[in-house]
Amino acid sequence: MSEAVTRRVAELRATLDRLNVEYYVLDTPSLPDAEYDRLFAELARLEAEHPALADPDSPTQRVGASPASAFGAVRHVVPMLSLNNAFDDEDVIGFDRRARELLRAVLPADEPIDYSVEMKFDGLAISLRYEDGRFVQAATRGDGTTGEDVTANIRTIRSVPLRLARPLPGPLEVRGEVLMFKRDFERMNERQREAGEREFVNPRNAAAGSLRQLDPAMTAARPLRFFAYGLGQVGADWAPQVPARQSDLLGWLAGLGLPVGPRRTASGAAALLAAYREVLAGRAALPYDIDGVVYKVERQDFQAKLGFVARAPRYAIAHKFPAQEALTTLLAIDVQVGRTGVLTPVARLQPVFVGGTTVANATLHNEDEIRRKDLRIGDTVIVRRAGDVIPEVVAMVPDRRPPDAPGFVMPASCPVCGSAVMREPGEAASRCVGGLFCAAQRKQALRHYAQRRALDIEGLGDRMIEQLVDSGRVHSPADLYGLTAAELAALDRMGDKSAANLVESIERSRHTTLARFLFGLGIRHVGEEVARQLASDYGDLAALLAEDWDALIERKARIQKDNTRRRTKGEALAPVPLEGVGPEIVDSLRRFLAEPHNREVLEALQRAGVHWPVTERALQAPEGRLAGRTFVLTGTLPTMTRDEAAELIRAHGGSVSTSVSRKTHYVVAGTDAGSKLARATELGVAVIDEDGLRRLIESDPVPGDRGS
324 binds ligand D41 (CB under 6 A): no
Nearest approach in angstroms of CB 315 to ligand D41 is 7
* Whole-Å CA distances, 239 to 81, 233, 248, 306, 678: 20, 9, 14, 20, 49
Relative to beta strand 666-669, strand 630-634 is: parallel
Is 313 a binder of ligand D41 (CB under 6 A)? yes
Closest CA to 272 of 103, 106, 104, 90: 90
- Of 77-85, 198-206, 397-405, 419-427, which part binds ligand D41 (CB under 6 A)? 77-85
Strand positions, DSSP E, 411-556: 421-422, 430-432
- Nearest approach in angstroms of CB 408 to ligand D41 is 38
Q: Are strands 342-354 and 357-363 parallel, antiparallel or unpaired?
A: antiparallel
Q: Which amino acid is at 321?
A: F
For β-strands 380-384 and 392-396, DSSP reports them as antiparallel
CB 632 within 8 A of CB 658: yes
User: Among 229, 288, 321, 408, which residue interacts with ligand D41 (rule: CB under 6 A)?
Assistant: 229
DSSP state of 147: E
- Give the torsion sign (CA, 291, 292, 298, 302): negative
Q: Which is nearer to ligand D41, 64 or 477 (CB)?
A: 64
Q: Smallest distance from the beta carbon of 120 to ligand D41, in angstroms?
A: 5
Task: Rule CB under 6 A: choose which of 43, 65, 83, 436 binds ligand D41.
Answer: 83
For residue 343, the minimal CB distance to ligand D41 (Å) is: 43
Q: Does residue 120 bind ligand D41 (CB under 6 A)?
A: yes
Q: Which of 120, 320, 443, 676 is catalytic?
A: 120
Contact residue for ligand D41 among 294, 326, 362, 677 (CB under 6 A): 294
Residue 179 or 362: the one with the smaller Cβ distance to ligand D41 is 179
One DSSP character per residue, 271-324 reads HHHHHHHHHHHHGGGSSS-EEEEEEEESBHHHHHHH-EETTEESSEEEEEPPPS
Choose the binding region for ligand D41 from 75-83, 329-337, 457-465, 522-530 (rule: CB under 6 A).
Answer: 75-83
**Applying CB under 6 A, which part among 53-61, 76-84, 106-114, 198-206 lies near ligand D41?**
76-84
Strand partners, 19: none
Distance CA 211, CA 177 (A): 12
Nearer of residues 306 and 633 to ligand D41, judged by Cβ: 306
Residue among 71 and 121 whose Cβ is closer to ligand D41: 121
How many other C-beta atoms lie within 10 A of the C-beta of residue 301?
12
**Mask for 90-119, x = binds ligand D41 (CB under 6 A):** ----------------------------xx
Residue span binding ligand D41 (CB under 6 A) among the ranges 120-128, 492-500, 506-514, 517-525:
120-128
Measured between alpha carbons, how far is 265 from 118 in angstroms, rounded to an integer? 9
Cβ proximity to ligand D41: between 230 and 653 the closer is 230
Binding mask 466-495 for ligand D41 (x = CB under 6 A): ------------------------------
Contact between 148 and ligand D41 per CB under 6 A: no
Residues 173-212: x/- map of binding to ligand D41 (CB under 6 A)? --x-x-----------------------------------
What's the start-to-end Cα distance of the chain, in Å?
A: 91
Count the alpha carbons within 13 Å of 663 in the hemisphere toward its beta carbon. 7
Contact 669, 677 (CB under 8 A): yes
Distances (CA, A) of 105 to 305, 306, 309: 10, 12, 20
| Binder among 82, 151, 328, 533 for ligand D41 (CB under 6 A) | 82
* Closer to ligand D41 by Cβ: residue 30 or 82: 82
Q: Which of residues 159-178 bind ligand D41 (CB under 6 A)?
A: 175, 177
CB of 113 to ligand D41, least distance (A): 15
Under 8 Å between Cβ of 630 and 655: yes
Taking the least distance from each CB to ligand D41, the nearer of 83 and 687 is 83
- Of 296, 385, 532, 650, the one binding ligand D41 (CB under 6 A) is 296
The Cα 337–Cα 346 span in angstroms is 10
Task: Give 296 or 650: the residue with its C-beta nearer to ligand D41.
Answer: 296
**How far is the C-alpha of 49 from the C-alpha of 98, rounded, in Å?**
25
Where in 230-289 is the site for ligand D41 (CB under 6 A)? 230
- Catalytic (active site) residue 556: no
Select from 80-88, 264-272, 567-575, 686-694 the region that touches ligand D41 (CB under 6 A). 80-88
Cβ proximity to ligand D41: between 10 and 78 the closer is 78
Nearest partner of 520 among 532, 503, 505, 504, judged by Cα: 532
Alpha carbon 527 to its chain centroid, in Å, reads 24
Please give the size of the binding site for ligand D41, defined by CB under 6 A: 17
The piece of 81-89, 427-435, 578-586, 598-606 that touches ligand D41 (CB under 6 A) is 81-89
Q: At what angle do helices 596-607 and 583-594 cross, to 10 degrees?
A: 80
Name every residue whose Cβ is closer than 8 Å to that of residue 362 and which is 6 or more positions away in sequence: 346, 347, 349, 383, 390, 391, 392, 393
Under the binding rule (CB under 6 A), the answer on residue 81 touching ligand D41 is: yes
Q: Within 13 Å of residue 263, how many CA atoms lie on the same side as its CB?
A: 25
Decide whether 245 or 629 has the Cβ nearer to ligand D41.
Answer: 245
Residues designated as active site: 120
Binding interface with ligand D41 (CB under 6 A): 81-83, 118-121, 125, 141, 175, 177, 229-230, 294, 296, 313, 316
